Structure 1
Amino acid sequence: MRHGVDKKCVCGVAVGYPLDTVKVKIQTEPKYRGIWHCVWDTYRQERVRGFYRGLSLPVCTVSLVSSVSFGTYRHCLAHICRFRYGSPDAKPAKPDITLSGFASGLVRVFLTSPTEVAKVRLQTQTQTQQRRPSASWPSAAPPMCPAPPARSAPRPKYRGPLHCLATVAREEGLRGLYKGSSALLFRDGHSFATYFLSYTILCEQLTPAGHSRPDVLGVLVAGGCAGVLAWAVATPMDVIKSRLQADGQGQRRYRGLLHCVVTSVREEGPRVLFKGLTLNCCRAFPVNMVVFVAYEAVLGLIRGLST
């Protein structure tokens, strides 16, 4: 069962990664006029590979991060219920769920920050494809002067996720690997509190009379809606996180979280804080439908083994 959950998490990351790449580019590069402009420009310059840069690291770590997130939530909730109600199996109140979700988001930051830095740097690293001149139709007359030697395209700074992490650590130190972690703390803390709370409330609303849990369709709907609501809360800090983490490939623009917020809003207006919201929500609904179905299946298996 655990391997099935891991495979679903990995597949979810792989399927949603192109949307994540487009989202990060829109958030960090003001030149894009919208989603389709970003998609076309990325494809024109880098072809399909441009949408999958940095994919290997999230795929390798998604199972660990998901396990830590959901495990922290369950353990924190059990300890709160034991402390407040005398039993870890007692029904938790809404503040208990919110606090446990918040703790889950905070713990997650320490694992994901280096991965996010490498992912964002690779996604925003432009690598233009060189086109070879056609040799099928020679020119009618030879050129009078020899053509100057063609300049080779500059090599990309980062050759892959591990090389990116090593380069950032060497050039920027340990702080570089945790760049944008303050924005990541705000993003994940509040969004995971919203995530688990909204899922619990929706499950209660979708549970048929006389049953203790919703059916599979109810879990699908509750999980998808919870993912959308969580990203609606997370997107403003997600924009700031992406900008802070990308701000290391050239001349640095931002001195910190507050300076990034003020500068971004002053230059591009308040709407800048919601760049990528549509993509986040479109990706969140199907991914979190699958995540919570797997989550409930694992909980059902654990309950069956413990009885």
Structure 2
Amino acid sequence: MSYDSSLAQSIGSFAAGAFAGACGVSVSQPFDIIKVRMQNTGGGTFSVLSHLIKNEGFLALWKGSGACLFGTCVSHSISFGVVENCKKFLRHGRDEPLSLLEHAFCGFCSGTCTSLISAPTEGVRIKIQTQGYLDYRGDIHYKNTIGVSFALLKLYGIYGLYRGFLTTFLRDAIGDTFYYSTYQAVPKYLLGKEDVNAEKDVLAIILSGGLAGISFWTFTYPIDLIKSRIQSDSISNPKYKGTIDCFVQTLNEEGWRTFTRGYLPCLLRAFPVNIGLFLGFELAMKFVGRDY
């Protein structure tokens, strides 16, 4: 394998991740806005859905898609690109395949990097999705993602865009650890494949991708709920001082059950979205190629 070819694979994995993100976002937005509304205001899945369509129109299911499309493509480009290059680095100069623990480590590295992108983009998207539906305690109504971004920068500087970063980092680092290790483990333990690193067929990608998504949210959902509340909080008159304060107030006011609010639509979203993500990624990687 020549240096040029190896470099093309390294760069190509980031492009494959961006393509995967575009595939995933095409089906993720309606599920995501329902999850965010449930996390912040309560109500059942179908009551939130019917209220949203009735009062805001069918296209409201894709509110915040601009920030989401950009953020998802960038974050998944980084996520898949970091994982693939970590795998390549760990395999360098050795013949034995990677262990599941090493795949988990690659996932942790991925989540650490993607949190730098997902914190500001998700924060802006969540404010767009919830404004007018929550009591914003004096905040103006922002027309688009640019308006929210400039308002945050004007009031708080770069810190404003990264409000909720700690919870985003914890969610992404922990989630991706289980996400990528589950993707590799499913073919071995459910389908009886000998090598967890072997190229997957369509059935393996569907099961591995869907269960990887469920694994991510099962281990991180309470963290994501706190993140969502911090990022949807008022810009000018915030209720929460930070992560710990949000957790304590939520627990005291609503009880521990609230930390599972919106979990069902999240799982309904996770399975098909992550099938789309991994199908898109594996398809793109067929053009890029792998030597690890």
Using the size of structure 2 for normalisation, the TM-score is 0.84
Residue matched to 2:51 = 41
Query: CA 1:163–1:222 in 2, change beyond 3 Å: closer, same or farther?
Result: same
Give, in angstroms, the shift of residue 252 of structure 1: 1.6
Give, in angstroms, the shift of residue 276 of structure 1: 1.6
Distance 2:199 2:235 in 1: 49
2:248 to 262, 270, 275: 262
Query: Percent identity of the aligned residues?
Result: 27
Could you tell me which runs of 5 or more consecutive residues in structure 2 were left unpaired when the two chains were aligned. 1-11
- Amino acid across the alignment from 1:59: L
Residue matched to 2:38 = 26
- What is the aligned residue count? 275
Residue matched to 1:92 = 98
- Amino acid across the alignment from 1:126: G
Q: Secondary structure at the match of 1:254?
A: coil
Give, in angstroms, the shift of residue 7 of structure 1: 5.3
Which entry has the higher C-alpha Rg, 1 or 2?
Answer: 1
Deviations 1:38-80 (A, max 9, x none): 2222233322243222111111232222111011112223323
Q: Greater helix percent: which structure?
A: 2
Greater shift, 41-50 or 185-194, is seen at 41-50
Distance 1:155 1:186 in 2: 28
Give, in angstroms, the shift of residue 208 of structure 1: 4.9
Give, in angstroms, the shift of residue 155 of structure 1: 10
Query: CA 1:289–1:127 in 2, change beyond 3 Å: closer, same or farther?
Result: closer
Deviations 1:145-177 (A, max 9, x none): xxxxxxxxx995211011111111112221110
Residue matched to 2:126 = 120
- Decide whether the 8 Å contact of 1:235 with 1:275 is kept in 2: no
Residue matched to 1:189 = 173
- Decide whether the 8 Å contact of 2:21 with 2:73 is kept in 1: yes
Query: CA 1:296–1:229 in 2, change beyond 3 Å: closer, same or farther?
Result: same
Residue matched to 2:146 = 162
Distance 2:171 2:223 in 1: 5
Deviations 1:257-305 (A, max 9, x none): 111111111111111111221111111111111222232333444447x
Query: CA 1:155–1:102 in 2, change beyond 3 Å: closer, same or farther?
Result: closer
RCO comparison, higher one (Cα < 8 Å, 6+): 2
Distance 1:276 1:101 in 2: 25
- Decide whether the 8 Å contact of 2:91 with 2:98 is kept in 1: yes
Distance 2:111 2:252 in 1: 29
- Decide whether the 8 Å contact of 2:17 with 2:77 is kept in 1: no
Residue matched to 1:229 = 215
Residue matched to 1:15 = 27
Deviations 1:184-209 (A, max 9, x none): 01101000000001111102232557
Residue matched to 2:3 = none
- Amino acid across the alignment from 2:172: D
Could you tell me which runs of 5 or more consecutive residues in structure 1 were left unpaired when the two chains were aligned. 129-153
- Decide whether the 8 Å contact of 2:17 with 2:78 is kept in 1: no
Using the size of structure 1 for normalisation, the TM-score is 0.81
Distance 1:265 1:230 in 2: 23
Query: CA 1:4–1:107 in 2, change beyond 3 Å: closer, same or farther?
Result: closer
Residue matched to 2:65 = 55
